[in-house]
Amino acid sequence: MKKRRSWVRPGLALAVLLGLASAVQAASAVPAADHPEDPGFARATEKNLAAVFVLPKDLAIDPELRSAADKISAAHLARVREQLPGWIKEERAIQGDNSNTNRVYYAVVARLFNELALWQVEPGEAAYEQATLAAILSSPSVCRTGSNRPNQDFARKVLRIQAMAPAQRQAALATEAAQLACWGTPRTVPAWPALHPRDVVKAALVGKPAKPEKAAGARAPALPPLLASRLLSDGAPYEKLARDETCLLQHWWLRTSLAQGKSREEVLNAFRYGTLVMASDRFYQESDGEADAAADNPSGRPPYPKFAARFDVTGKTTVSRRFDAQGQAIEAGIVKREIEVGGIRGVRPLAFEDALDAATLRYALHPDTRPQAGKATEPLFTMVWALDPPDAEKPAAATAATPVKTSQTPKGKQR
């Protein structure tokens, strides 16, 4: 089974490092601006973030490039160190004097997760884009970090820069530095591809293994040995692939898409989204999934996903469904999301845009949600996800995890 490790686990790391869980009750009475836990939280958060920006010692990077990359990360971490106290104060100001410290911290962490995500999909200037695509095409080794941890964002970018021509490296490093300097500011990034890159690749793999009698041209191009072994011999599903393997699969699909005539801009965007590390990957907690599964009640309202509740993720998800002759939904896909996340303002909450997907799809495919007899089976279905107003006296996660306190409204709007 794929081992998932969190970049930062406020539920664990913050509670353990800062004694947050026991401190929350007392903390709520302290004036927001002077909360004694804030400096410690800022230090712990910076430390966790630093793990993203430290290139592993055994990663094969040219010394000169490594040195230049290290300078960029040091400058960025210094900048974040300056920014974090401001972000915390900003959050406390928004939440008011009775702000719940736990909610404040989750909001700040959400903002950081989102900055990481935006930075992953943000394109650079034309020359940077061209050099990046050429670097990715030059070798699948740009995917090889040797680690399955979700904090290899910077390492992947540096591997790509290493694959560029020496003359392009300096400019690419400058672009990376400039993009990092934009953290915390409103900006736009390209939209998701029309179809999720994961689903596109899954569909492309359906024809494998090919029947011997099929013509070579009638199937997707061949996989490299690593992927052939994992997918065809092991039978591993996409979701069980390690991060490097997922990257390699998206790399394979990027080449394929280009050969099929897709634009360079389009394939690069799909690659970035296909390898994007979402907040739920960085903050994975086994207990959340178990709690969600245990709370699942087929005949009632679906439980609010614990991860989404923890990070104050709300909004609407619209599902497209396909039905069989008996009116049972046999296929469902998210076609629209309107997501809001506490702490994220002025930019898309990209890192959390899938936070309600799984619960939505589970609900949409459940036999109990089929249209009533005699009614038309409309393909679109919208769910509205709302949380109770935060209770300043209780930790936010506990509030969200309590079914009684959780009010989510899966309105089966047939439209």
Partner 1 sequence: MIVRVLQSCLARRALPPLALALALALALTGAAPANAAPESPITEAAGEAMWWGDFAALERQNAELKRPGHLDEDGASQIELFRTGVNRSLKGHRTEGEAYFREMDALTLGWAQDHPQSALAHILHAEALLLHAWSYRGGGFAKDVPPAAWKDFNDYLRQAVAYLGAHADVALTDSHAHQVLLQAGRALGWDRQQLDAIRRDGLKRNPEDVGLYFEMLSSVLPKWGGNPRALDDYIKSVVEETRPQYGTAFYARLYASAAESEFGHALFENSYADWPAMKQAYEDMFARYPNSPKRRNSYAYMACLAKDKDTLLRLLGEIGKDAMAAQWGPNGERSLEGCRRWAGQL
* Contact footprint for partner 1 (CB under 8 A): 138-141, 143-144, 208-210, 212, 216, 221-229, 232-234, 248, 252
**Whole-number minimum distance, CB 286 to partner 1, in Å?**
28
Nearer to partner 1, 216 or 404 (CB): 216
Report in angstroms how near the CB of residue 139 gets to partner 1 at its nearest: 5
Least distance from partner 1 to the Cβ atom of residue 268, Å? 19
The residue among 248 and 351 lying less far from partner 1, judged by its C-beta, is: 248
> Residue 384 has which token pair?
């509205």
CB-nearer residue toward partner 1: 32 or 155: 155
Q: What is the smallest separation between the CB atom of 281 and partner 1, expressed in angstroms?
A: 23
To partner 1, the closest distance from the beta carbon of 234 in angstroms equals: 8
123 and 190 Cβ atoms separated by less than 8 Å: yes
Q: How far is the CB of 223 from partner 1 (least distance, A)?
A: 5
The DSSP letter of residue 228 is I
- List of long-range contacts for 44-51, beta carbons under 8 Å, 24+ apart: 44/13, 44/14, 44/17, 44/18, 45/8, 45/84, 45/108, 45/109, 45/112, 46/77, 46/80, 46/81, 46/84, 48/7, 48/8, 48/13, 49/8, 49/77, 49/80, 49/112, 50/77, 51/7, 51/151
Nearer to partner 1 by Cβ, of 140 and 371: the residue is: 140
CB of 221 to partner 1, least distance (A): 6
CA separation (Å) from 264 to 128, 137, 195, 256, 396? 13, 11, 17, 12, 44
d(CA 59, CA 147): 10
d(C-alpha 351, C-alpha 279), whole Å? 5
Q: Which is nearer to partner 1, 57 or 415 (CB)?
A: 57
* Nearer to partner 1 (CB atom), residue 19 or residue 207: 207
Closest to partner 1 by CB, 16 vs 222, is 222
d(CA 32, CA 92): 6
370: left (phi over 0), alpha (psi -120 to 50) or beta: beta
